[in-house]
Structure 1
Amino acid sequence: MSSLDWKLLESEYLFKDNWLTARKDKCITPQGKIVTPYYVLEYNDWVNCVAIAEDGRVIMVRQYRHGIGKTILEIPGGSMDNTDPDPEFAMRRELLEETGYAFEKLIPLGAVAPNPASSNNLTHMFLATGGKKVQEQHLDDNEEIEIVMMEMEDVEELLKENKLLQSLHVTCLFYALLKLKELQIL
Structure 2
Amino acid sequence: MSQSPRPWPRLRRGLELDYHILKVRTDVYADPRTQHEYPRVFIDTPEWCNIIAVTPEDQLVLIRQYRFGIQENTLEIPGGLVERGEDPAQAAARELEEETGYVAGRVVPLGSVHPNPALQGNRCHSFLALDCVKRHEGQQDHGEDIAVELWPRAEVPRLILEGKITHSLVVVAFFLERLRAESAR
Taking structure 1 as the reference length, what is the TM-score of the superposition? 0.90
Deviation of the 1:48 alpha carbon: 0.5
Q: Which amino acid aligns with 1:62?
A: R
| 1:100-155 superposed Cα distances (whole Å, 9 cap, x missing partner) | 11112211111111111112211111111111112221001111111110111222
Query: In the alignment, what sits opposite 2:36?
Result: 34
2:67 to 51, 65, 68: 65
Query: Which runs of 5 or more residues in structure 1 are unaligned?
Result: none
Q: Deviations over 1:11-64 (max 9, x none)?
A: 123311312211121222332423332111111111001111122111110111
Contact 1:44/1:121, CA 8 A, preserved across alignment:
yes
Find the residue that maps to 1:98 and give its secondary structure.
helix
Kept after mapping to 2: 8 A contact 1:164/1:170 = yes
User: Deviation digits for residues 63-89 of structure 1, max 9, x if unmatched?
Assistant: 11111010111011111122x422111
1:167 partner amino acid: S
CA contact (8 A) 1:26 1:34 kept: no
Q: Which residue of 2 aligns with 1:159?
A: 160
Question: Match of 2:83, as an amino acid?
Answer: D
Partner of 2:129: 128
Q: 1:78 and 1:35 mapped to 2: Cα distance?
A: 35
Shift of 1:181: 4.4
RMSD over aligned Cα atoms: 1.7
- Percent identity over paired residues: 33
Aligned positions of 1:21-170 closer than 5 A: 21-82=23-84, 84-170=85-171
Assess, with a 3 A threshold, how the Cα gap between structure 1 residues 13 and 89 changes in structure 2: closer, same or farther: farther
Q: Which amino acid aligns with 1:50?
A: I
In structure 2, runs of 5+ residues without a counterpart are none
- Determine the C-alpha separation between the residues in 2 that align with 1:37 and 1:115: 17
Does the 8 Å CA contact 1:103/1:129 hold for their aligned counterparts?
Answer: yes
Contact 2:64 2:148 in 1 (8 A): yes
Structure 2 distance, partners of 1:51, 1:157, is 18
Report the number of matched residues. Answer: 183
The whole-number CA distance in structure 2 between the counterparts of 1:13 and 1:25 is 8
SS of residue paired to 2:154? helix
